Chains A and B, each alone.
Chain A
Amino acid sequence: MSKPIVATTSLAGCFGCHMSLLDIDERILDLIELVEFNKSPIDDIKTFTKQCDIGLIEGGCCNSENIHVLKDFRKHCKILVSLGECAIMGGLPALRNGIAIKECLDEAYLNGPTVRDNDKQIVPNDDELPMLLDKVYPCHEIVKIDYYLPGCPPRADLIWNALVALVTGDEMKLPYEVIKFD
């Protein structure tokens, strides 16, 4: 039987969840025995080359590119997992949700105390740039999400247990220590 295929991405996240994935330490050797990676920052494969079994999503959606990538993941993965606070609830980026987008842009590019050398008062608007969304959305409001792994970041053991459970089909181990926050 071929190995299950895993894809991962970081949308509006800080890569902390990916760091936590790497925190499984030497078990990463077991992991590459257990699964094959496709599109992921871990192996730097930029586009899907085949259908995958598991997609791990870090971060929520703050711009049109995030939406595009997330929908692409849904198309290519049998199971999607929201990994961490931002994917599940928007997280830190969602702090801007109470503020109008224009106000955010003005503060960042025109009026903020650290703004320098913007005499032409330009707010970046190149068509190559993704379009910002009115607010940061959790992934499950955009596509169907099958599982959620909470934490900021989720602990390495939690990610490991989840992956092993998904791959082996066994029930997941969820001791209190793995999902408590303080």
Chain B
Amino acid sequence: MAMQLENIIEKYNKDKTRLMDILIDVQSEEGYISEDAIKKIAGELDISLADVKQTMSFYHFFSDKPTGKYTVYLNDSVVAYMMGRQKVKEAFEKETGIKFGEVTPDGLIGLFDTSCIGMNDQEPAALINGKVFTDLTPFRVKEIIQDIRDGKNIEEMYRSDLGEGENRNELVRSVVRNNIRRIGPVLSKDYIPGRVIKEKLTSMTPEEVIHEIKKSNIRGRGGAGFPTGLKWEFCRKAKGEKKYIFCNADEGEPGTFKDRVILTERPKLLFEGMVIAGYAVGATEGIVYIRYEYMYLKKYLESILQGARDRNLLGKNIGGIEGFNFDIRLQFGAGAYVCGEESALIESAEGKRGEPRDRPPFPVEKGYLDQPTVVNNVETLCSAVKILLNGGEWYTTLGTANSTGTKVLSISGDCRYPGVYEVEWGFSVKDILEMTGADQEDVQAVQVGGPSGTLIGPKEFNRLLCYHDLATGGSLIIIGKQHNLLKDIVTNFTQFFINESCGSCSTCRNITFQMKEKLEKILDGKGIEKDIDDLVEWGKILKVSRCGLGQTSANPIVTSIRNFRHLYDELVAGDKDFESEFDLSEAVKASCDATGRIPVLN
């Protein structure tokens, strides 16, 4: 053990900014991170114990206790529940004899909940020792637990064939399915790796590249929608010793899984996009920050990177461009939604807690290791390749005037064909429902943009997906009438934000929690009209939080009040203007008992 740990620390040159990688490797080798390991790491990296512990305690895939020889992380997102998660969970508990959050006494199996793992189109799903198991049923759970007891290895536990496409790749071997339902410039197979580098980049100056990207009007695809060309230009002009291109592949928004599909099927396109961005801004290093849940793609992606190096599409003098050196490495996260926020992502990649930074300065001025850094979404970088190939002008012919190009959507929930759809901006929600084979009579709501987005009802189904109407990072969850919108959907989303808050701002840490309690008070039939108004007002206070997570964490409640007010009104009783659950005699009982006093209650 000591030897292995030493090797791991050596592998990363005792570099404290690689603490995440070290912890990930130790967790994977040992199944947990012991007190001894923490001491050793702190000593070797010359940082304090607290430095190691604060990073470690931030990410939920790190554990200070053994998590079982087989560690099961069962997704607890909304769609998992819609697809029968409760029964699957009960089956796991019944078959193992333990509750979630526990490990069997013999140390064989650990059961844990986890936030959305990016498999919404094949739920309920779980990660078992890092490998994905999809379409779980109580029957499958019985088989899996039996297989574990029989000592089978993970792959022997698959019962279905491997997924399509690169999921069958020898280095992936996963049962995950791509479910690509509609293709466009990003997902199209019509792509020759390296062509843009060799045929276009070689004859363009960095400024010309930025000009072309600006001409296309493409905006960031992560959700915030910042103009990509402008971001690159800011970074190019920023002063720094070294510049970095980050690809944000930390898609953690429940219901989003398009980056998983792009990483599986079009990684070369993505890496080429990073090379282009690197050329444009003058960066020499690219880092793909990938969520831990997609660790099963690691070896495959590393082999693709090696292939690109072998073909001079990465490395020194790329594509024969004298002096253009650029290489890419992978950086895995360890389970934290907030790391999808660009400054939190950078903090995490530096080996720290994924807490968002104060801005300004923005990452383009002071990002990774305080150097100018571009952080782009997976899809944005992929689109950049096609923009250079076909021209910025061509790109503006796709989509709408203000929202050019295409968007890769992750669609799940109550529809016939959940999966990944690449559409031009400007599709209406109604189009989407028709396209995915949802029974429109039976749809009561659509969650656009995940929990941080908007919950809309049928009256708004003619709204358009674009930056000036319904902006979205790409997650659409279709919700049928059989579900209780407030109990099943809104409560789960709010709990998600409570779980994923980094805890830095008091607003996000506290108010979201209190809003959930108030929502539950209403659901228990103890609410009053004022409670609903309070929820709306408290939601506004959250806007002062430092990052997007905190600022949008009231959205499930606030947008459902806006669009489904009648569901709340039905639950609040009469015309009382205040209802306190406080009981003085109950509240003073403990202290009076402790001091031997007789309560005086008038």
**A residues at B contact (CB < 8 Å):** 64, 67, 85, 89, 100-102, 105, 123-125, 127, 131-135, 137, 140-144, 148, 150, 152, 176, 179-182
Interface residues of B in 474-517 (CB under 8 A from A): 505-507, 510-511, 514
B600–A131 CB distance below 8 A: yes
Q: Of B113-121, B460-468, B581-589, which binds chain A?
A: B581-589
B505 contacts which of A85, A105, A142, A181 (Cβ < 8 Å)?
A: A181
B514–A105 CB distance below 8 A: no
Q: Chain A residues near B510 (CB, 8 Å)?
A: 89
Known contacts: A123-B595, A131-B597. The answer to whether A102 contacts B507 by CB under 8 A is no
Q: Chain A residues near B593 (CB, 8 Å)?
A: 102
**13 pairs of residues in contact across A and B, judged by CB atoms under 8 Å:** A67-B584, A101-B590, A102-B594, A123-B595, A124-B595, A131-B588, A131-B591, A131-B592, A133-B587, A134-B586, A134-B588, A137-B582, A141-B580
A127–B594 CB distance below 8 A: no
B506–A181 CB distance below 8 A: yes
Q: Chain A residues near B298 (CB, 8 Å)?
A: none
Least CB separation from B589: chain A residue: A134
Q: Chain A residues near B597 (CB, 8 Å)?
A: 125, 127, 131
B358–A105 CB distance below 8 A: no
Q: Chain B residues near A127 (CB, 8 Å)?
A: 597, 600
**Contact size class for B?**
20 to 34
Min CB distance B108 to A, Å, is: 33
Q: Is B360 interfacial (CB-CB < 8 Å)? A: no
Q: Is B596 interfacial (CB-CB < 8 Å)? A: yes
Q: Is B190 interfacial (CB-CB < 8 Å)? A: no
Q: Is B567 interfacial (CB-CB < 8 Å)? A: no
B506 contacts which of A67, A85, A141 (Cβ < 8 Å)?
A: A85
**B residues at A contact (CB < 8 Å):** 358, 505-507, 510-511, 514, 530, 534, 537-538, 541, 544, 546, 577-578, 580-582, 584, 586-597, 599-600
Q: Chain A residues near B586 (CB, 8 Å)?
A: 134
Q: Chain B residues near A67 (CB, 8 Å)?
A: 582, 584
Min CB distance B25 to A, Å, is: 35
Least CB separation from A138: chain B residue: B514
A176 contacts which of B506, B544, B578, B587 (Cβ < 8 Å)?
A: B544
Least CB separation from B513: chain A residue: A89
Least CB separation from A74: chain B residue: B578
Q: Chain B residues near A100 (CB, 8 Å)?
A: 590
A143–B580 CB distance below 8 A: yes
A105–B594 CB distance below 8 A: yes
B596–A102 CB distance below 8 A: no
A148–B537 CB distance below 8 A: yes
Min CB distance A83 to B, Å, is: 14
Closest 6 interchain pairs by CB?
Answer: A144-B578, A132-B591, A125-B595, A102-B594, A131-B588, A133-B587
Q: Chain B residues near A131 (CB, 8 Å)?
A: 588, 591-592, 597, 599-600
Least CB separation from A90: chain B residue: B510
B546 contacts which of A105, A124, A182 (Cβ < 8 Å)?
A: A182
A101–B544 CB distance below 8 A: no
Alpha-carbon gap, A141 to B589, bound state (A): 18
A134–B591 CB distance below 8 A: yes
Q: Which of B534, B581, B595, B600 lies at the interface centre, i.e. has the most chain A CB atoms within 10 A of its CB?
A: B595
Q: Chain B residues near A64 (CB, 8 Å)?
A: 584, 588, 600
Known contacts: A101-B594, A141-B581, A142-B580. The answer to whether A150 contacts B541 by CB under 8 A is yes
Q: Chain B residues near A152 (CB, 8 Å)?
A: 506
A144–B595 CB distance below 8 A: no
Identify 6 new A-B residue pairs, CB closer than 8 A, beyond the known A127-B600, A131-B597, A150-B541.
A89-B511, A89-B514, A127-B597, A133-B587, A133-B588, A134-B586
A134–B580 CB distance below 8 A: no
Least CB separation from B514: chain A residue: A89
A141–B582 CB distance below 8 A: yes
Q: Chain A residues near B537 (CB, 8 Å)?
A: 148
Q: Chain A residues near B587 (CB, 8 Å)?
A: 133-135, 137
B358–A102 CB distance below 8 A: no
B588–A180 CB distance below 8 A: no
Alpha-carbon gap, A134 to B584, bound state (A): 10
A123–B594 CB distance below 8 A: yes
Least CB separation from B504: chain A residue: A182
Alpha-carbon gap, A123 to B595, bound state (A): 6
Alpha-carbon gap, A143 to B511, bound state (A): 19
Least CB separation from A146: chain B residue: B530
Alpha-carbon gap, A70 to B129, bound state (A): 55
Q: Chain A residues near B595 (CB, 8 Å)?
A: 105, 123-125
Alpha-carbon gap, A143 to B544, bound state (A): 26
Known contacts: A123-B595, A134-B591, A176-B544. The answer to whether A142 contacts B507 by CB under 8 A is no
Min CB distance A40 to B, Å, is: 24
Min CB distance B472 to A, Å, is: 25
Alpha-carbon gap, A23 to B587, bound state (A): 36
Q: Chain A residues near B546 (CB, 8 Å)?
A: 182
A133–B591 CB distance below 8 A: yes
Q: Chain A residues near B590 (CB, 8 Å)?
A: 100-102, 134
Q: Chain B residues near A141 (CB, 8 Å)?
A: 580-582
A142–B582 CB distance below 8 A: yes
Alpha-carbon gap, A124 to B577, bound state (A): 38
Q: Chain B residues near A140 (CB, 8 Å)?
A: 534
Q: Chain B residues near A132 (CB, 8 Å)?
A: 588, 591
Alpha-carbon gap, A101 to B587, bound state (A): 11
Alpha-carbon gap, A101 to B593, bound state (A): 10
Alpha-carbon gap, A143 to B510, bound state (A): 20
Min CB distance B119 to A, Å, is: 35
Q: Chain B residues near A182 (CB, 8 Å)?
A: 358, 505, 546
Alpha-carbon gap, A152 to B590, bound state (A): 30
Min CB distance B159 to A, Å, is: 45
Q: Chain B residues near A89 (CB, 8 Å)?
A: 506, 510-511, 514
Alpha-carbon gap, A176 to B545, bound state (A): 11
B592–A144 CB distance below 8 A: no
Least CB separation from A100: chain B residue: B590
Alpha-carbon gap, A148 to B358, bound state (A): 25
Min CB distance A42 to B, Å, is: 27
Least CB separation from B546: chain A residue: A182
Alpha-carbon gap, A102 to B595, bound state (A): 8
Q: Chain B residues near A150 (CB, 8 Å)?
A: 507, 541, 544
Q: Which of B541, B581, B593, B594 lies at the interface centre, i.e. has the most chain A CB atoms within 10 A of its CB?
A: B594
Alpha-carbon gap, A85 to B537, bound state (A): 16
A144–B577 CB distance below 8 A: yes
B578–A143 CB distance below 8 A: yes
Q: Chain B residues near A101 (CB, 8 Å)?
A: 590-591, 594
Alpha-carbon gap, A142 to B583, bound state (A): 9
Q: Which of A105, A132, A141, A176 lies at the interface centre, i.e. has the most chain B CB atoms within 10 A of its CB?
A: A132
Min CB distance B501 to A, Å, is: 15
Alpha-carbon gap, A137 to B580, bound state (A): 11
Least CB separation from B593: chain A residue: A102
Q: Chain A residues near B511 (CB, 8 Å)?
A: 89
Q: Which of B511, B537, B544, B581 lies at the interface centre, i.e. has the most chain A CB atoms within 10 A of its CB?
A: B544
